[in-house]
Amino acid sequence: MKKFHTTLTRVLSCVLLALISACSSSVKLQVKGELPTPLATLYPLNLGVHYTDNFLNQIYQENTKERENWNIDYRQPRKTLFDQILPTMFQSVLPVTTVSAPTDGTAIDAILEPDLVETQFALPDETQTDNYEAWIKYTIKLYQPDGKLISEWQLTGYGKTPTAMFTSKTDGLNTAVTYALRDIGARFVLDFRKAPGVQQWIVGKINCAEYPYLC
């Protein structure tokens, strides 16, 4: 009987701990997840990429009554996404420190600058649904080598995952953010040529007789 009471006490303690964890509004999350590279059209162009300080360093933080001590860090995966995608789209990709081409004679046809605009989250108890959700919005800018703006457009990714797949809030949010980043990657690849002025820039840079599918 004593052994039974001890086992029951342990079980109840575990259940209580799980309930307390589930009800807590605090979130501390270092986002990790697989980011497969979507199939992309290869452009015979040399690209520079400039990551802003905001893009590299911003962490989602919120401390309200409803969301106490939220700290969601997805700095590494959002950079990894572009580090993976851009080399599949351009014949060479070079990190640069400004939106002007290097002065050492390195051949660059344009410089891409993604920047983080906004991150939003929704929990199941907030939306009365069975999903964790995440929205991520970027501004994408494409510059001439001399720093003149070619194009600027907004890019938004959305991710959601059902509560049935997870026992913790952090796991659900982690997967929702990962899915939102995947969505951004797919949209960037598919919509790149549709951005204002981009197709015209491509045509002006390539030999259309050699690459008719890009013209």
pLDDT digits (tens, 9 = 90+) for 37-53: 778 889 999 999 999 99
pLDDT at residue 23, rounded to an integer: 46
Least confident of 62-66, 140-144, 187-191: 62-66
CA 24 from centroid of its chain's CA atoms: 26
Q: Show the tokens assigned to 140.
A: 């994408």
How far apart CA 87 and CA 95 sit, in angstroms, is: 11
Domain boundaries in the chain?
26-214
Distance (Å) of CA 179 to CA 25, 66, 77? 22, 24, 11
Least confident of 23-27, 42-46, 85-89: 23-27
For 162-190, the pLDDT digits (tens) are 888 877 888 999 999 999 999 999 999 99
Do the beta carbons of residue 184 and residue 155 sit within 8 Å?
yes
How far apart CA 184 and CA 176 sit, in angstroms, is: 12
Reported confidence tier of residue 103, pLDDT bands at 50, 70, 90? low
Report the run of H or E that residue 124 belongs to, with start and end: helix 124-127
pTM of the model: 0.83
How far apart CA 159 and CA 168 sit, in angstroms, is: 17
Q: What is the DSSP letter of 109?
A: S
List residues bridging with 119 in a β-sheet.
Answer: 136
Distance (Å) of CA 86 to CA 64, 164, 205? 38, 35, 18
Report the run of H or E that residue 131 belongs to, with start and end: strand 131-143
Q: Does domain 26-214 have CATH number 3.30.450.20?
A: no
Q: How far apart are the first and last CA of the chain?
A: 81
Is residue 9 over pLDDT 50? Answer: no
Nearest C-alpha neighbor of 112 from the set 135, 134, 83, 74: 83
Share of residues in the chain with pLDDT > 70 (%)? 86
Is residue 137 over pLDDT 80? Answer: yes
For 181-214, the pLDDT digits (tens) are 999 999 999 999 999 999 999 999 999 999 999 9
- Write the single-letter amino acid at 179: Y
Provide the pairing of β-strand 27-30 with 70-73: parallel
**How many residues appear in the chain?**
215
Q: Please state the rounded mean pLDDT for residues 128-139.
A: 93
pLDDT at residue 31, rounded to an integer: 81
